[in-house]
Structure 1
C-alpha cells in the first residue's frame, strides 16, 4: 500500500532502553544527521551493539544553520519541500502547530526532540570525526576516529555510512573561460540575504536552492539574473490550498505512475518557460521535482531576469550563450554536489558522476558489512526512507532477516538501475533517484520475505546454516 500520512502515532518515550545483546554483530554509524539518527534508533531498539560518531556537536546535519560540523548547506530562509506529514518518521509525527512546510529551525528542533524522546543522545559520540574505514581480512571493518580522547581504531562487524550527500560542492567542470573580477561562491556557502544585498547577482542553476536564492536576491540585490542551461518543470507546493504531495498513489503501481503524478503537477503549475526560462527538453516527471512558490512572481515583476547558460566570464560582467551579458559582482554557483566518502579509499568505493549502484540503495554486494543510509534522492523526503533502511539493517544484524542469493541481489540491483534510467534523463542529479511510495512498499516486501527466509533457517529440521551464520550471511 502507499505510504499513508494518516497512520502516524507518536511512540511512547523510551525510559528503559533495550538491553544490548553482546552476541550480535557490532556496528558503527557514521554521522548523526537525519539518516544517522534513524539508524541509531533502529539499532538501539534491536539490541544491536553500536557506536555512532558525529563530527559536530549537535544532531540534524544539513538542517542545522551554521552546523558546527562545517558541512551544512542550510540558509536562513530554507524550508522543506515535502510537507511535514510526509517527511516525519513513522512513529514520531511533527508537532501539529508546524506549518505545512516547516522552516529549517523547526526541522532541527524536531530532530533534537526525536533523539531525546527515544533516549539516543548518550549513544552518540559528538565532536568525533571518522577518518578511515578499511575492510579487514576477517570480514570485519577497521574504523579510525579522532575525537576528544585522541585518535583510535576500533573493529566492527558492520559500518552504516550516513554522512550525507549535500556537503561536497560540485563546481562547473571544466571552469568557464575568462576571468572574473567579483566574488564567486557555491550555494553551499550561502546563508542569508546579507550576502546579496545591493549587489549585481548571477545565480547559476535550476534546482531548488538556485530558485530560493534567486528569489531572495530579487528582493534585496541591485540586479538579479538566473542563468540556466537546461529548463526544469517547476511545481507549486500547494494545490487548491493543500500541500501537493499529500495526494498519494498506491505504492504497488509501476514507476510510471509517479511520473504521471509529476506530469499532472507540472501541467497544473504552469510552464515557467513562458516567463523566459529555458523550455524543458524532457517531459514532466523525467527529472527530480523542483518546487517554488516565489519564482513566478519574481520573474513576472522583473526582480529576476532569466538568462540561458554562460559562455564566459568577462571582468565585471557575465556573457551568456545568446550573446547577451549582465553586470555581476557575485556569482552563486548552485550546481549541485559530489557524492564522496572521505573516510573510504576511492579504490574501494567511488561514485563517479555520483553513480554508486546499490541494492535497494543500501547494500553493496561486493563489500559485506558496509551499508549506506540515506544515500538516495527520493521523489519525496529522505527521512522515512532512511528510517526504513535502518530498520532493515538492524534486522539483518539481529539475525531476523536473511538475504536472497547474491545473484538475485545483483539481478534486482540491475533491474532497479534500468528502471531509473528509463524514467529520468541522464545526469549526476538522477543517479540515486527513487520513488518515495514505491521504495517503501518494495523494501517492506523484501523485509517480510527475508524474515521468512531467516525463520526457515532457524528451524531445527531445516538444512543449512545456523543462526550465527545467518547473521553473517545477512551482511553479505
Structure 2
C-alpha cells in the first residue's frame, strides 16, 4: 500500500508518523519549503516568491487559545516547565521536533503543489507541480489522506456597501502586524479568538478600534477599544450598525472565519461542499463514495493534536483491515440521521464539536476498535472553554486527572 498525504502541517505529519508505525509507504506533498502548515509565519501575503498562494494565516505575536496540554500528541510531550499558552514560534518548534523525532521529513516532497486528484480504476492519480520550475508530474497511490487545513480560504460576508467603502478592507488571513493601523479608526468584524487578539493588538496603536459581533457576552474594552453590534451596511467611509448608530472608519478587518476548500479534488471524487458543509463523509473523515479518500481535521472547536491522532488511526485501521467499514447505504443512513439531529439545514456548524468532542473521540475508538483518547483531555477542555484565561497553567497528572498550577513569568511551578 502507498498513501498520498496532502499537506505537511500537524495533521499531515501525524498521518506520516502513523504510516511509519504501520510500515506503510507514503509521500507528503507540501507546496512550500517549510513544514508546520498554518503555524509557519511569513511576512508575505497573497502569493509567495514562487507564485504559490500563501497558505498560512499566522500573524506576529499570536498566542494559542488552548493550553499546550490540549495541543500535544500523546507520545510526544512539550518540554517541561513552560507556560500552558504558547507563542506561535514555540508551537512551530514543537512541530519541527516532532517531524525530526519520528523521521518524517525524508518523506516530504517540498515545493510540490497538488493541482488535481482523481480516481482511476482502483488507484488515485495525484497530479502535482513543482512551484519553482513549474514542471508537472503524476503518481499513483492506493489511498489519499487530505490534511490541507481549513484556515487558508477566507470567508468574507456580503455586507451592502462594502464594495464602495472608501477605506482599506482585508481579512485576518492577510493580517500580520498592527503597525499599518497606527492612528487610524479600525473596524474588526468577528469576536472569535483571532478577532479578539487582533483587536487588542491594533488598539495599542490605533486611535479607535470597534469590534462588531453578535455574541451576547461582554468583551474586554479599553480607552481605544469599543464594542458594537453587527454591521448593517457601509456608506462611503462610515459603518452603519443594526442599532442605528454609525462610526467613521478608516480600515476594516474581517475576522469572519474560513471556507473549506479542496480545489484539487475532481468532482468525480464524490465529495461536495454545500453551505461550507463537507459531505458525504463517514464520521466526518472518510468519503462514503470513495472510502480510500479521507480528510483529517475538518471538525473544529476541538483539541487539534488528539483530533488528528485518532482520526488518522481510524483511517489507517480501515485501510489495513483492522476493522471493516459499513456498507455504503449504511454509512449514508447514519449520516442522514446525524444531520437530522443538528438544528437547521446542514452547514459548517455540522463540523463543530465543542462539548461533544469527547463523545466523538469515544465513538471513533469504539467503531474502529482502536485506543481511546484519554478522558482527561475532554475534562480539561471543558474547563478551558468555560473559563479561558491565557495566564492559567495546567498539568496533566494521568489519563483521568489534571491540576491547575502556579505560573511565574517564564515557567510553571
The answer to whether the superposition gives a TM-score over 0.5 is yes
> Which of 229, 236, 240 in structure 2 is aligned with 1:308?
229
1:373 to 296, 306, 324: 296
Higher relative contact order (CA 8 A, sep 6+): 1
The answer for the alignment partner of 1:104 in structure 2 is 88
- Length-normalised TM-score, structure 1: 0.71
* 8 A contact 1:354–1:431 mirrored in 2: no
Q: What SS does the corresponding residue of 1:326 show, helix, strand or coil?
A: strand
Aligned partner of residue 168 in structure 1, secondary structure: coil
The SS at the match of 2:77 is coil
| Aligned residue number for residue 239 of structure 2 | 318
Q: What does residue 12 of structure 2 align with?
A: 36
Q: In the alignment, does 2:102 pair up with 1:126?
A: no
After superposition, residues 78-157 of structure 1 pair within 5 angstroms as: 78-136=62-120, 138-147=121-130, 150-157=135-142
TM-score, scaled to structure 2: 0.81
**Do 1:203 and 1:214's aligned partners in 2 also have CA atoms closer than 8 Å?**
yes
Matched, 1:182 2:182: no
| Alignment RMSD (CA, Å) | 2.2
CA–CA separation in structure 1 for the residues paired with 2:34 and 2:163: 42
Q: Distance in 1 between matches of 2:334 and 2:232?
A: 42
Task: Say if 1:115 and 1:306 are closer, same or farther in 2 by CA, change over 3 A.
Answer: same
In structure 1, runs of 5+ residues without a counterpart are: 1-24, 233-270, 273-294, 451-476
What does 1:275-354 align with in structure 2 at a 5 Å threshold? 295-296=219-220, 299=221, 301-346=222-267, 348-354=270-276
User: 1:67-466, aligned counterparts within 5 Å?
Assistant: 70-136=54-120, 138-147=121-130, 150-173=135-158, 175-176=160-161, 179-228=164-213, 230-232=214-216, 271-272=217-218, 295-296=219-220, 299=221, 301-346=222-267, 348-357=270-279, 358-378=281-301, 380-419=302-341, 421-422=342-343, 428-434=347-353, 435-448=356-369
Does structure 1 retain, via aligned residues, the 8 Å contact 2:229–2:241?
A: yes
Question: In the aligned structure 2, how far is the partner of 1:113 from the partner of 1:131?
Answer: 29
CA distance in 1, matches of 2:201, 2:359: 35
- The one-character-per-residue Cα deviations of 1:325-370 (angstroms, maximum 9, x if unpaired) are 2121110011111111010135643312111132111111112311
Alignment size in residue pairs: 357
Deviations 1:209-250 (A, max 9, x none): 11111122222211111112x225xxxxxxxxxxxxxxxxxx
The Cα of 1:74 is off from its aligned counterpart by 0.8
Mind listing any 5+ residue stretches in structure 2 that lack a counterpart?
Answer: 372-413
- Alpha-carbon distance in structure 1 between the residues aligned to 2:315 and 2:346: 29
Instruction: Point out the structure with max Rg over C-alpha.
Output: 1
Structure 1 residue runs of 4+, over 6 Å off? Answer: none
Question: What's the counterpart of residue 379 of structure 2?
Answer: none
